[in-house]
Amino acid sequence: MPEGTRGASARYGIRSYAALGDSFTEGVGDETAGGDVVGWADRLAARLARHCPVPEFRYANLAVRGRLIGEIVEEQVPRVREFAPDLVSLCAGGNDILRPGSSPDDIAARFEAAVAELTGSAGRVLVFTGFDPRDTPVLRRLRGKIAVYSAHIRAIADQHGCAVVDLWSLRTIQDPRAWREDRLHLSPEGHQLVALRAARVLGLPAQPEPFPAWAPEHRPWTAGQLQDLRWLRVHFLPWMARQFTGRPDGAGPLPKRPELAPLAPPPGPPRGETAAVPPVTHTP
């Protein structure tokens, strides 16, 4: 990204934001009582709207659960040329990495091609490393594969001048309370942690750690093994089956915010930047 573009973004603020990806960016796991899906990207957009120095902030979320990187590149990346936003976030490849036999090198090559296209259309590009699955049964066997892909993402970001949200080093996200029962999607608290880390990377005012009272949880070895077996049977194996049969978690054909549309800042003062960002109201 040209230095002048980066400087303009910093000087005038982020006036428009487009989020690309799969269920992680769509916000699965962070649902309101009314059934709306929120997520870290919506929470980040609300903070950006609050700090934006212009009257009207615009936001699009093109992410759709279950999408593979090829689908994201084909369906979502071209829309950014049309939007030309000040900021675009791209988190893709997670579903591909989980597939047996997939190559992190091949996935990274597709990711880099997408980033190269995005840097020509957006003022700033934000990318994400993978989570460290060291404490998750089955998925921890993919730790090396995820680490290789994360290293690729860092190299790609360095090559193309992208900002990086390092989720691998985000230790609080490894707490079980940051995840839904399926251990595949973040809880509302987990989405809030990611939104705060992304905001920090973008240079927004820092917020205190939102969950300092989380104490380490201890569970007997036998109980832990039984819980892991239940998770494998009830959540992980059915999820894998849906991936291979083309029915990824009830995915719909359209994203929740398909257009770059105005997003008004939440009413009232910033509340000291300590409370969780309220959910974003989605457009139909």
Highest mean pLDDT of the ranges 201-210, 238-247, 255-264:
255-264
Q: Which parts of the chain fold into alpha helices (H)?
A: 3-12, 23-26, 40-51, 69-75, 77-83, 94-97, 104-119, 143-160, 188-201, 221-231, 237-245
Q: What domains can you pick out in the chain, each with its CATH number?
A: 3-273 (3.40.50.1110)
Q: Which residue has the higher pLDDT, 247 or 79?
A: 79
Q: Which long-range contacts (CB under 8 A, 24 or more apart) does 219-223 make?
A: none
In this prediction, residue 271 carries a pLDDT of 39
Which pLDDT does position 229 carry in this prediction? Answer: 59
Summarize pLDDT for 111-127 with one digit per residue, the tens: 999 999 999 999 999 99
* Arithmetic mean of pLDDT, 128-132: 95
CB proximity list for 39: less than 8 A, separation 6 or greater = 24, 25, 26, 27, 28, 29, 30, 61, 186, 191
Which segment of 35-44, 109-118, 121-130, 250-259 scores lowest on mean pLDDT? Answer: 250-259
* Residue 274 pLDDT > 70: no
Strand partners, 164: 127
Q: How far is CA 102 from CA 63, 68, 146, in A?
A: 22, 12, 11
Which phi and psi (to 5°) does residue 261 adopt?
-115, 155
Per the model's pLDDT, the better-predicted residue between 80 and 264 turns out to be 80
Computed over every residue of the chain, the mean pLDDT equals 81
pLDDT at 273: 42
